[in-house]
Amino acid sequence: MRVFYAFVIAIAALCAVAENARAQLYVTQEPSFPSSVIGVVSEFPINTDLITGLSVPVGLALRGNTLFVAIQGIQTVGKYDATTGGVINPSFIMGLSLPVGLALGGNILFVANAGNGTVGEYDATTGEVINASLITGLNAPEGLALLGNTLFVSNFRNGTVGEYDATTGGAINANFIAGLSFPVGLALRDNTLFVANSHAGTVGKYEAKTGATINANFITGLAVPQFLALLGNELFVANAGNGTVGEYDATSGAAIKASFIRGLNRPAGLAVKSAK
């Protein structure tokens, strides 16, 4: 019965994504604790088990046909083929400290380490360390977003988003946005920064140049929102609390489909691209 139920959920999720032919979504699903469930990376609408056997996969970053996965259970970032799920290097970057969010800028991969309060900088082709402690003194950093040479970092424990120079790691404004509720995911569109507040169940919308609030309650009623992803005017939100990915209008905040994908196991990381 449990196998049949899982099959029905998978089909429902695939059908939901098929309604939006433009969206091809990658989603990490974390194990539930205590549980023997192994984490996976799913690709909708193609393969719900694209990458399996992962130990607490969290953040994702996508470049071309390469998918980077932050794997907390073994403190690494793994590198995989985004089409086949084939392993390129499961220990592409090692020695991390509870890696969470990832961001790509050219050939540089930024990694947020929630365990030791740092953001590290690595070569996205070789995995070579550029600066493992590019930014230090953070308070459980989770989400990352890059705008030009500015790197935004969400600090889960102190409810802030900080703004940093992506080259030097120097603080531009460590309290760029404050008063948030355990922020996790960040997403950028033009000059707008979206922030997922996990405990408040909201996504806020802010001016990316000044930090001014556009709408602190842009989207409400979410269930422990984690990471965010944008495709055109569509904002996708992973909800760990109810096992869904929701789809929203990035201009108005209106729900396009609040349960765009459903039946997931603690979805966290998101990456999106146009379907071919």
Q: Is the pLDDT of residue 16 over 70?
A: no
Q: Is the pLDDT of residue 19 over 60?
A: no
pLDDT score for 31: 72
Q: Is the pLDDT of residue 4 over 50?
A: no
Per-residue confidence at 11, pLDDT binned at 50, 70, 90? very low
Which tokens sit at 204? 């806020």
Q: Is the pLDDT of residue 108 over 60?
A: yes
Task: Give the 3-state secondary structure of residue 266.
Answer: coil
pLDDT score for 20: 53
Q: Phi first, then psi: what are they for 83, rounded to 5°?
A: -90, -45
Instruction: Write down all domains in the chain, each with its CATH number in brackets.
Output: 2-274 (2.130.10.10)
Q: Is the pLDDT of residue 13 over 60?
A: no
Supply the DSSP symbol for 256: E
From CA 59, how far away is CA 10, in angstroms rounded? 22
**Cβ partners under 8 Å of residue 170, min gap 6:** 164
Report the predicted TM-score, pTM, of the whole model to 2 decimal places.
0.91
pLDDT tens, residue by residue, 42-86: 999 999 999 999 999 999 999 999 999 999 999 999 999 999 999
pLDDT score for 30: 82
Averaged pLDDT, 245-251: 98
In one-letter notation, the amino acid at residue 222 is L
From CA 205, how far away is CA 251, in angstroms rounded? 10
Based on its alpha-carbon atoms, the radius of gyration of the chain, rounded to whole angstroms, reads 17
From CA 159, how far away is CA 29, in angstroms rounded? 24
- pLDDT mean across residues, the chain: 91
